[in-house]
Amino acid sequence: MNPGMILRPFGPTMYKSKVSEEFRKHLIESAANEDAPEMNYTLAGNIDKEITFDLPLSMESELQWFVNDYMEQMTKAGVHQPPKGHVVDRIVLDDPWINVQKKGEWNPPHIHAGDYSCIVYAQVPDELREEWTYDNQRGRNPTGGMVEWHYGQWAPGNISQFGPIPPEEGDIFLFPAWLVHYVYPFNADVERISFSTNFFVNYVPPSYYQLIVPLTSMQFPDHFYIAFLIPHFVL
């Protein structure tokens, strides 16, 4: 695995790294499945082909590794602390989905469910890069197929947006699920393939509570205390 780097362009903390080539290729193969269940009815995008698929265990483990790395780096940087005395029990993935974005399609400003979300870029055709170059040459800000995140509002001395970010194949971005983001349309007659899912992080409270029970008995001195360790079960 390639350890990622923390991105802190504004208040929320983001993360960027690269998925394995096996991961990326599997996404492209899955996107070609014409019989895959559609996800359009549950998603905010103006994208015709949004599908779900079975995520292999190896890919799920790879994503969980990235989330762990993300949280560990935030903890070291002092921007994330688990609930006091708690530790991560497990990281649960929500239903994953693939976006096959085509010419003129876009995602409006939206947020996700869960604690954290991710975007993985599986296919970024060269025609999109040509479109960015064309816009640059004409003094326009290139945005085609790019994602942009927003936090807070514009004010002098404050950064309220991160992007538009040119996608690169294999890139993975992790970010808080509540962070507003959107995807710009493009003009090229191509397909840009990306993957997303949400993560729910379950924390385990202290394993035991200490219960102090006063006992008075002929066998023990007055006000003798015995500490009982009572297991705490998480359902």
Residue that wins the pLDDT comparison between 218 and 36? 36
Residue that wins the pLDDT comparison between 155 and 116? 116
- Per-residue pLDDT band for 78 (boundaries 50, 70, 90) equals confident
Q: List, in sequence order, every beta strand (DSSP E) within the chain.
A: 5-7, 14-18, 49-52, 87-93, 97-101, 107-110, 116-123, 147-150, 161-165, 171-176, 180-183, 192-204, 208-217, 220-231
Task: List the domain boundaries for the chain.
Answer: 5-206
Alpha-carbon distance 70 to 79, whole Å? 11
Residues 218-235 have pLDDT tens digits of 454 444 333 333 333 333
Residue 89 has pLDDT above 50, yes or no: yes
Q: Dihedrals φ, ψ of 221, to 5°?
A: -65, 160
What CATH superfamily classification does 5-206 receive?
q2cbj1_9rhob like domain (2.60.120.620)
Instruction: Give the residue from 22, 15, 13 showing the smallest Cα distance to 173.
Output: 15
| Identity of the highest mean pLDDT range in 70-74, 80-84, 173-177 | 173-177
Residues 131-160 have pLDDT tens digits of 999 998 989 889 999 999 999 887 887 778
The sign of the dihedral angle between the CA atoms of 119, 60, 177, 82 is negative
CA distances from 98 to 1, 28, 62, 166 (A): 22, 9, 17, 18
- Per-residue pLDDT band for 213 (boundaries 50, 70, 90) equals very low
